[in-house]
Amino acid sequence: MKSFFTGRFDDYSIRHFQKDLLSGVIVGVIAIPLAMAFAIASGVKPEYGIYTACIAGILISLFGGSKYQIGGPTGAFVPILFGIVIAYGYTDLLLAGFLAGIILCLMAIFKIGSLIKFIPRPVTIGFTSGIAIIIFTGQIENFFGLTGLEKHEKFIDNMKEIIFHIDTMNFYSIGISILCLFVILLTPKLLPKVPGSLIGLIVTTIIATVFFSGNISTIGSTFGEIPSQLPHFRFPDITWERIQRLIVPAFVIAILGGIESLLSAVVADGMTNSKHNSNRELMGQGIANIITPLFGGIPATGAIARTATNIKSGATSPMSGIIHGIFVLLTLLILAPYASLIPLASMAPVLMIVAWNMSERKQFLHVLKMKSGDSLILLVTFLLTVFTSITIAVMVGLILAVVLFAKRMSNMLVVSKVLPDHTHKNEIVQSHVVNEAHNCPQISIYTIEGPLFFGAAQVFEQRIMDTIHYEPTVLILRMGKVPFIDSTGEANLKNIVNYYKKQGGILLLSGIVDDLKKSLKKSGLYDEIGEKYIFSRTGEAIDYAISEINHNKCLGCKHFAFHECNQLSHTGNLDKKESKLLEI
């Protein structure tokens, strides 16, 4: 049992349970209106959101990798789920969620959880802010009580619908929306521990029922009565044709769910000084999303705001998440008839506030003001999320991030021609000592600094070939500051090796690190260069190079690049006893 729960219930006591009970009830109270609101915004009945909060909330807490995670329907899913409902219908949404659960489990099995965290921050801020815009504008219809609108998948089409039907606004709805918004904003100042969204819904529902009955659309009048019963089990009709149609949406749900849940778990870690298990978290999310659609629930993930509230309320274990799910379920069974009376105009400000809070506006403006590559990634991801789809936005954002990263890394590559600095005590090689009067005609030494990967390998080869205006007998490449090399880098290095072999020259490597040596041996390039041409120190390589050059060409040379040059310039011969091994 300990291994199953990974020790999360060790030394659990009644005192811990009391804290979890309180935090679970508080989060449950917050989750109820949000669950209904997210379901409605996703184009499905409100009870499906409640089913999701119950079932997924319990399963994510049981099987997830974070002690404090609260799972359920979230705003991040709204554009995706709404698009699936518009394009395929509710039953296909359930199957897409089921398939997404399987994908999440596979991601956990193959330990992809640790990779998701490497998604660049500008990409996550971009699509999160884009989702916030979609959610916010999607509630304009209910805020103003507009009628006759046709739902579309595209943002621009929905905006056109609002403009064309603005003359159908209902002033009763506007009044209720403004009142609910006012209560939501005022409640935290007067009653900090009471969720403003719940108070706003209760107050405006009572007022609308008593004074404006029949004049405002409600959950019941729009979606029918919310049933006061447990959801029914139904296994989806799985066919190959449906799988082919829904695999891409399912994959998007899985990726976004994985990102959102791990971001939430990281937030929880920061608030509690704990550490979540990312792959176990994906497994918990996968199990929840496989089972929840069998009872009519929509896709779920970790909810950052509810998780933070759970921690602030004193949660000590996953039991608080389980209690939260049970509380939502009991509320459904007892209070469902009253929930049907909630005006849609009251739900609009709830979702608008959620969109405002999830927009990450401060981070958005901060990255945008940097006017860097990250700013471009952010803006492109944001605009594509709003005007196309989150699938395209994330793909383009990631590709753009990789391209810009490769460009930055290629700019970090330094290829400089060097010679020993005789004025320095240790005679280290320096680039500033190389000039027309001080440059060996037969030996060229280059220092390579930076990774030799696909983004920099071509630059590396060009700089080596372009900066050599003559054919030196020996080329020494100092590679002690090359941390790694990929297949492209190896190919470009091989081109240089082959070139010098064809010219009858000798290429020497010095100072290569162990990882680089392993890569060269694995590719066969190490043997192709020849072990006798690979040295641990540059001084050894220089000593070997001087022994291989044509000493007759040294007669009369005035460059004096090395200590040995003084003797070679006068005699053309080198006395081995006087040869000095440079310790460089």
Convert the pLDDT of each residue in 110-156 to its tens digit. 988 777 767 888 998 998 899 899 989 989 999 999 998 888 888 99
Residue where one domain finishes, among candidates 328, 361, 394: 361
Q: What pLDDT shows up at residue 157? A: 92
Domain count, the chain: 2
The backbone torsions φ and ψ at residue 229, rounded to the nearest 5 degrees and listed phi first, read -155, 165
CB 478 within 8 A of CB 510: yes
CB 34 within 8 A of CB 305: no
- Are 419 and 350 part of one and the same domain? no
Contacting residues for 260 by C-beta, under 8 A, at least 6 apart = 74, 76, 301, 302, 304
Task: Find where tokens 């009644």 sit.
Answer: 14
Q: What pLDDT shows up at residue 577? A: 43
Task: Find where tokens 């690049």 sit.
Answer: 561
Q: What pLDDT shows up at residue 428? A: 81
pLDDT higher than 60, residue 512 = yes
As a whole number, mean pLDDT of residues 503-521 equals 90
Inside any domain, residue 498: yes
pLDDT higher than 50, residue 95 = yes
Inside any domain, residue 391: no
CATH of the domain at 539: 3.30.750.24
Tell me the two tokens of residue 397: 């954002």
- Are 350 and 453 part of one and the same domain? no
Amino acid at 103: I
* Cα gap 247→238, rounded to integer Å: 12
Is residue 448 helix, strand or coil?
Answer: strand
Quick: pLDDT tens for 165-199. Answer: 999 999 999 999 999 999 999 998 988 878 888 89
As a whole number, mean pLDDT of residues 479-505 equals 88
pLDDT higher than 50, residue 96 = yes
Neighbours of 468 (CB within 10 A): 14
Percent of all residues in the chain with a pLDDT value above 70, rounded to a whole number: 95
CB 132 within 8 A of CB 355: yes
- Are 298 and 156 part of one and the same domain? yes
Q: What pLDDT shows up at residue 582? A: 39
pLDDT higher than 90, residue 48 = yes
As a whole number, mean pLDDT of residues 30-50 equals 92
Distances 25 to 214, 300, 309, 330 between C-alpha atoms, Å: 33, 19, 11, 11
Q: Determine which of 8-12, 158-162, 274-278, 514-518 has the lowest per-residue pLDDT on average.
A: 8-12
Strand partners, 446: 417, 477
Q: What pLDDT shows up at residue 580? A: 42
Inside any domain, residue 560: yes
Inside any domain, residue 7: no
- Are 357 and 431 part of one and the same domain? no
Amino acid at 355: A
Inside any domain, residue 398: no
C-alpha dihedral sign at 75, 253, 399, 387? negative
* Cα gap 524→494, rounded to integer Å: 10
Q: What pLDDT shows up at residue 266? A: 85
* Cα gap 309→191, rounded to integer Å: 15
Q: What pLDDT shows up at residue 469? A: 59
Inside any domain, residue 270: yes
Q: What is the pLDDT confidence band of residue 8, given thresholds at 50, 70 and 90?
A: low
- Are 252 and 317 part of one and the same domain? yes
Q: What pLDDT shows up at residue 572? A: 62
* Cα gap 492→514, rounded to integer Å: 20
- Are 184 and 290 part of one and the same domain? yes
Residue where one domain finishes, among candidates 338, 361, 384: 361
As a whole number, mean pLDDT of residues 250-277 equals 89
Q: Which of 101, 106, 93, 102 is CA-nearest to residue 236?
A: 93
Quick: pLDDT tens for 408-443. Answer: 877 788 888 888 887 776 678 888 888 877 888 888
Averaged pLDDT of the chain: 87
Q: What pLDDT shows up at residue 574? A: 59
- Are 439 and 290 part of one and the same domain? no
* Cα gap 213→187, rounded to integer Å: 25
- Edge-to-edge, what's the strand order for the sheet holding 534-535? 429-430, 414-420, 443-449, 474-481, 506-510, 534-535
- Are 330 and 452 part of one and the same domain? no
- Are 55 and 174 part of one and the same domain? yes
- Are 111 and 202 part of one and the same domain? yes
As a whole number, mean pLDDT of residues 193-220 equals 89
| Greatest Cα-to-Cα distance within the chain, rounded to the nearest angstrom | 113
Contacting residues for 374 by C-beta, under 8 A, at least 6 apart = 120, 121, 122, 367
pLDDT higher than 90, residue 505 = no
Q: What pLDDT shows up at residue 467? A: 64
- Are 419 and 339 part of one and the same domain? no
Residue where one domain finishes, among candidates 346, 361, 376: 361
- Are 204 and 314 part of one and the same domain? yes
Strand 506-510 and strand 474-481: the pairing is parallel
Inside any domain, residue 389: no
For the chain, the distance separating the N- and C-terminal CA atoms, rounded to the nearest angstrom, is 60
Percent of all residues in the chain with a pLDDT value above 90, rounded to a whole number: 44
pLDDT higher than 90, residue 551 = no
* Cα gap 199→210, rounded to integer Å: 17
As a whole number, mean pLDDT of residues 213-233 equals 87
Q: What is the pLDDT confidence band of residue 209, given thresholds at 50, 70 and 90?
A: very high
* Cα gap 431→412, rounded to integer Å: 17
Neighbours of 1 (CB within 10 A): 6
Give residue 86's domain range. 14-361
Tell me the two tokens of residue 143: 């805020």
Q: What pLDDT shows up at residue 2? A: 47
Inside any domain, residue 9: no
Q: What pLDDT shows up at residue 289? A: 97
